[in-house]
Structure 1
Amino acid sequence: MTADLIAVVLLLAVTAYACAGGTDYGAGFWDLTAGGTERGRRPRWLIDHAMGPVWEVNNVWLIFVLVVMWTGFPTLFQAVFSAMWLPLALAVVGMVLRGAGFAFRKPTRRLAGRRLFGAVFAVASVVTPFFLGAAVGGIASGRVAPGTTASADAWTNPTSLVFGLVAIATTAFLGAVFLTGDARRFEEPELVGYFRRRALGSLGVLTVLAVVTGFVTHEDSPYVWHGLTHGLGLLFVAVAGAAALATGLLLVRTPGTWLRVAAVGVVASAVLAWGMAQRPYLLPTSLTVADAAGSPATLTWLAFVTLVALVIVVPAVVFLYWLDAHGELEELTEADLRRQGGTTGDGAPPDL
């Protein structure tokens, strides 16, 4: 019973990372496709201002996923990281380069340096979700099992490739939807239309890829395909479809809070559908939840830690998101500091 509870926690943590981290990766995708220096100046300005306050905190969900895998399901952790070490290592390199590019491009004064760091940030924002999606696809295809050695087939098969493309399209969709709302908050009507068009386009691409995924999993991942077309898996697929329709309708109207809720509903429902489709396996069809679980004492303590995180960490993260969404985390400009602290006659802050 405890093992099933921890498996649900793991799935919910993956869902949270897909939604929160996916939004940041999507912002990087639109940074990459914004165009040249002059053409992409305004979209990149919005991306910097929207991501700045919260981009680091989204990795909390990924850390939690790794902790739950490592402590709660050590056999799963060993099998996945043994068979998928290369794509996962490439994803980690992408995360590091992405963070470094985003952190250094703004304070860099030279134009060439800003372009270099901006390119690193943007390219890594596309590469990272692709490799993460490819690893998930390898798991869904049943090619990863305890004792499986690393091979290219584990993450270059049809299911892995289509999952990697779905991951990129998903992040682009989330990023465009959230940037549409941020443009409205910053009172930039041109950017509202700019990102709304891209949100609609990425939603269309994601819909096509969802259909392609159905055909691919039918042939390459029969167990997961069966789970997606029956029971709880089918229910969450239906919810994802309804949320996608609602998102499309909201996008053609004035964007608001419900637009973001609907978009998150699309992605969250899709991830939950995948999780339900694999039941009772963590690695179809070789490793069940019960077989992968750690010792009962470890699972009990992990459940306790999860409860503590639920009470302390989650409200703090949600409050941070709320502050960001309401514009309470904006950077202070030099003019703001002068208004608050006063200035000397030469424009410098007064001596303390």
Structure 2
Amino acid sequence: MDLNTLWFILIAVLFTGFFFLEGFDYGVGVLLPFLGRTDDERRVLTNSIGPVWDGNEVWLITAGGAIFAAFPNWYATLFSGFYLALALMLIALIVRGVSFEFRSSHEGVIWRKLWDWLLFGGSLVTALLWGVAVADLVHGVPINSALQYAGGFWDLLSLYSLTGGLALLFLFIYHGALYLSLKTETSLLERAQGAAKVTGLATILLVLVFALLTYLQTDLFTRGGAGFVLILSALALILSYAAVRRGRSGWAFVFNALTILFLTASVFWGLFPRVMVSSLRPQWSLTIYNAASSPYTLRIMTIVALILVPFVLLYQGWTYWVFRRRVNFKNLHY
């Protein structure tokens, strides 16, 4: 295995961790105005992710930094082509982040409801745009012979990309409902389990439609075992929903985690060795070789990653261990 392949795999692992951890953050944010009927209940919901959401964002920052350093041409083409979409995502992330702090800075009812709905909007927009971006990477975008994006904002939107956006959005909402089933008590627990039953069924339908469109409109199913892994993702989701129907929230969360893992793996497996597919001509696609940094840069980055990544993993593991208990009205902080 060369360093180009190693860094492609590492970036895939970083995005897998990000979608798994930040996925339930987005889901809780979207569910917040609907499950929390009182201010104290909404405080319980925000406290369930309050200590961990910013740590979960580290996976995204690290993945972005890895793309910039290891595959600068990928970074340049991605950020120039997806500029408006990424700017909108950044605004949503900023609004979402400050809402955790601002809602508790004033006790006014209208003030707190405002920031609750902004948390909802920031979570929904970000999750939807991530789904659209992933679908565009699989389907392909207009990239010319100079390896530069040659389209506009509306070229990023299609039936396939919007279906992918909705599928990932509902997958994250379902993930958030399962997370709340493990972190809340009494009436909030019951509502979270009810939300998981409703959103789980919608998620299954959207993921199956997305898988069908992927088979019809992309080459993912012809690239090794990527299509098989996507099928495994759908099967894990069905098993997760079956566990929800039986009241096994823990197993449902585990199977949904596998759903996200298999889904992300299928995307990167289907891309390899490409990093961005050209919809104009296949030979104009960016790959792990024509988009990569020099071998010396990759060697230095590998040494740095081997030193720093274990510390990040230990920090995240310690955080979740400290805040492992269910949240109730007696241990609120936000």
* TM-score normalised by length of structure 2: 0.89
1:288 to partner: Cα distance: 1.6
- The match for 1:340 is none
Match of 1:206 among 203, 207, 225: 203
Work out the CA distance in 1 between the residues paired with 2:173 and 2:327. Answer: 25
1:287 to partner: Cα distance: 1.4
Is 276-285 or 86-95 further displaced after alignment?
A: 276-285
Q: Is the 8 A contact 1:130 1:165 kept in 2?
A: yes
- The match for 2:128 is 130
Work out the CA distance in 2 between the residues paired with 1:281 and 1:263. Answer: 27
Work out the CA distance in 2 between the residues paired with 1:215 and 1:245. Answer: 16
Q: CA RMSD in A?
A: 2.3
Q: Deviations over 1:119-150 (max 9, x none)?
A: 11111110111122222222222114321135
- The match for 2:270 is 277
Change (3 A) 1:330 1:113: closer
SS at match of 1:321: helix
Work out the CA distance in 1 between the residues paired with 2:327 and 2:306. Answer: 29
Letter in 1 for 2:16: T
1:333 to partner: Cα distance: 7.0
Q: Quick check: 1:318 aligned with 2:317?
A: yes
Work out the CA distance in 1 between the residues paired with 2:21 and 2:88. Answer: 21
Work out the CA distance in 1 between the residues paired with 2:42 and 2:175. Answer: 16
Change (3 A) 1:46 1:282: same
1:69 to partner: Cα distance: 0.6
Q: Is the 8 A contact 2:124 2:169 kept in 1?
A: yes
Q: Which has the higher contact order (CA 8 A, sep 6+)?
A: 2
Q: Deviations over 1:89-125 (max 9, x none)?
A: 1000000001111221123211121111111111111
- The match for 1:76 is 74
SS at match of 1:33: helix
Aligned length: 323
Q: Deviations over 1:29-88 (max 9, x none)?
A: 1014347xxx35465233122012111111100101110110000010011111110011
Work out the CA distance in 1 between the residues paired with 2:154 and 2:327. Answer: 48
Consecutive unaligned residues of structure 1, counting only runs of 5 or more, are 335-352
Q: Is the 8 A contact 2:85 2:153 kept in 1?
A: no
1:6 to partner: Cα distance: 0.3
1:159 to partner: Cα distance: 2.3
Work out the CA distance in 2 between the residues paired with 1:271 and 1:200. Answer: 23
Q: Is the 8 A contact 1:181 1:255 kept in 2?
A: no
Change (3 A) 1:23 1:280: same
Is 145-154 or 308-317 further displaced after alignment?
A: 145-154
- The match for 2:34 is 33
Match of 1:224 among 207, 216, 220: 220
Letter in 2 for 1:269: F
Q: Is the 8 A contact 2:183 2:327 kept in 1?
A: no
Letter in 2 for 1:79: T
Change (3 A) 1:309 1:52: same
- The match for 1:50 is 48
Letter in 2 for 1:148: Y
Change (3 A) 1:132 1:190: same
Work out the CA distance in 2 between the residues paired with 1:333 and 1:143. Answer: 46
- The match for 2:253 is 260
Is 257-266 or 161-170 further displaced after alignment?
A: 257-266
Is 293-302 or 211-220 further displaced after alignment?
A: 211-220
- The match for 2:176 is 175
- The match for 1:142 is 140
Q: Quick check: 1:292 aligned with 2:291?
A: yes
Q: Quick check: 1:248 aligned with 2:230?
A: no
Q: Is the 8 A contact 1:34 1:40 kept in 2?
A: no
- The match for 1:190 is 187
1:15 to partner: Cα distance: 0.8
Change (3 A) 1:313 1:71: same
Q: Deviations over 1:277-314 (max 9, x none)?
A: 12221112411212221110111122122212332211
1:180 to partner: Cα distance: 0.5
Change (3 A) 1:89 1:158: same
Percent identity (aligned) = 23
Is 88-97 or 121-130 further displaced after alignment?
A: 121-130
1:273 to partner: Cα distance: 1.0
